[in-house]
Structure 1
Amino acid sequence: MNQKYVKIIINGSPISKSNFKLSNSSGRSILPYASGKYHDRYALYEEEIAYQARLQNPNIQFTESLIAILKVYYKSKKRHPDTTNIPKSIFDGIEKSGIIINDAQIRKLVIEEFYDNENPRFELELFAESLYDIKYQIFNMEKEIDPIEYSLPSNKKSTILNKKKKIQKDSCGKLCEICGKFVSDSEIVSANKGQTLICRTCLKKLF
């Protein structure tokens, strides 16, 4: 069928394929279907996408290049997969449905992230490039809204902190074990038979 537009809605929390890959004995990435483990979840999700997409759009197949508008609705603002990893997961399922021949047909893609605690889902619109085009516009908000702030995971925080300490140590001398500051060698005094290093400022405060 010579279709120029479709809309596909798949209910359920979107998940990322990158979190569910395993490697075989030769190091090649695989996607298990029936291991009986948590990793099967993505393969089942991909099949659900294919089934629902075909059910919503029977007898439709795009053969030309496409524009895609993807709206992803998560349950939570903070606890969800990286949105940049989501499109590959979704388009693999759409390709399996037969609605597209290959995900390389998607030449223009816009992704938007939303939140719906009651009804997590994704909504995908596909437009044939022979008939449609898209324009981008960035504009100032009339009223500033509260930003959604993100913080580093604890493992990355410790890695960065260790790097900073090493840089400071290399450039500033030794670390005082009382105040936690790096000072020059001339300002450091050793105590406890050389096992403890204290700067002269902290040493004076002890008396």
Structure 2
Amino acid sequence: MADYAKIVVPGTPISKSNFKMVSKSGRFFLPRDSGSYSDRYANYEAAIALHSRNQNPGVVFTGALIAILKVFYKSEKRHPDTNNITKSIFDGVEKSGIIVNDAQITRLVIEEYFDKENPRFELELYPEHLFAMDFRVLRREEPLRKKNYEPPSNRKGELKKVKEMGKPPKKEAPASTGKICSVCQKPLAPGNYISGNGGTTLICKGCFAKLY
């Protein structure tokens, strides 16, 4: 019985998270040999299945699995969303027969790297009844340069509205009486001043408090 498998597939992984076609009978399928751009999804899964089986002859897992997926992209600026590529990868591995159902993956760690010369993914599989995962997050002694991300282009307007909704309403400047404080010479707001000497002396409440 195998207790470990490693699969390495060259090239940048393809995401099919938002892709599907429907046949006349209403079943979902991936087109193959249609001559269209959509063939790439089925062809990529077939390539994964071929590499998986060739690299792990005779290996079949039927139980729960721990999976460590390392993805090496060619470019830091343009690549698929890492959290969206797992569907294509595990569907391809399932087609190889190494696993019987991608639901077997009960623990998954994904790590993102960059390799301009050799983009690829590396997948390690461990039977959960034989191995345990020891996962820790440690604070760096020396922080790395922070990499900031922009929202998707189709959501920038939406996120802007959300941010605007979260801001407190702007305070409107209080209306002025057209009169000024006899002490600080600032405009007086309605109800915010004290009148004396028959109305000839006007003092804002702030200045009045300081006098006493």
TM-score by structure 2 length?
0.72
Q: Does the aligned pair in 2 maintain the 1:21–1:39 contact within 8 Å?
A: no
1:29-67: CA deviations, max 9, x gaps?
Answer: 431112211111010000000011101111111122111
- Kindly, what percent of the aligned residue pairs are identical? 55
Structure 2 unaligned residues grouped into runs of 5+: 174-212
Flag the 1:99–1:156 CA change in 2: closer, same or farther, 3 A: same
1:120-142: CA deviations, max 9, x gaps?
Answer: 10000001122111111011101
Flag the 1:23–1:58 CA change in 2: closer, same or farther, 3 A: same
Instruction: Provide the residue aligned with 1:137 in structure 2.
Output: 136
Larger radius of gyration: 2
Instruction: Supply the AA of the counterpart residue of 2:112.
Output: E
Instruction: Provide the residue aligned with 1:14 in structure 2.
Output: 13
Instruction: Provide the residue aligned with 2:102 in structure 1.
Output: 103
Offset at 1:156? 1.9
Instruction: Provide the residue aligned with 1:151 in structure 2.
Output: 150
Alignment partners' CA distance in 1, 2:155 and 2:31: 30
Flag the 1:44–1:137 CA change in 2: closer, same or farther, 3 A: same
Flag the 1:128–1:27 CA change in 2: closer, same or farther, 3 A: same
| Between structures 1 and 2, the one with greater helix share | 1
Offset at 1:20? 3.7
Alignment partners' CA distance in 1, 2:162 and 2:26: 31
Check if 1:54 corresponds to 2:36. no
Offset at 1:161? 4.1
Flag the 1:127–1:164 CA change in 2: closer, same or farther, 3 A: closer
Instruction: Supply the AA of the counterpart residue of 1:86.
Output: I
Alignment partners' CA distance in 1, 2:147 and 2:24: 42
* Residues 172-191 of structure 1 mapped to structure 2, 5 A cutoff: none
Number of residue pairs matched by the alignment: 172
1:172-198: CA deviations, max 9, x gaps?
Answer: 8xxxxxxxxxx99xxxxxxxxxxxxxx
Alignment partners' CA distance in 2, 1:119 and 1:153: 27
Offset at 1:162? 5.8
Instruction: Supply the AA of the counterpart residue of 1:14.
Output: P
Instruction: Provide the residue aligned with 1:201 in structure 2.
Output: none
Instruction: Provide the residue aligned with 2:62 in structure 1.
Output: 63
Alignment partners' CA distance in 2, 1:95 and 1:73: 21
Instruction: Provide the residue aligned with 1:199 in structure 2.
Output: none
Q: Does the aligned pair in 1 maintain the 2:17–2:87 contact within 8 Å?
A: no
Alignment partners' CA distance in 1, 2:163 and 2:121: 41
Q: Does the aligned pair in 2 maintain the 1:6–1:127 contact within 8 Å?
A: yes
* Residues 25-40 of structure 1 mapped to structure 2, 5 A cutoff: 29-40=28-39
Alignment partners' CA distance in 2, 1:139 and 1:103: 30
Structure 1 unaligned residues grouped into runs of 5+: 173-182, 185-207
Q: Does the aligned pair in 2 maintain the 1:70–1:124 contact within 8 Å?
A: yes
Offset at 1:24? 4.2
Q: State the superposition RMSD in angstroms.
A: 2.6
Secondary structure in 2 matching 1:18: coil
Q: Does the aligned pair in 2 maintain the 1:46–1:90 contact within 8 Å?
A: yes
Alignment partners' CA distance in 1, 2:101 and 2:158: 40
Alignment partners' CA distance in 1, 2:89 and 2:7: 11
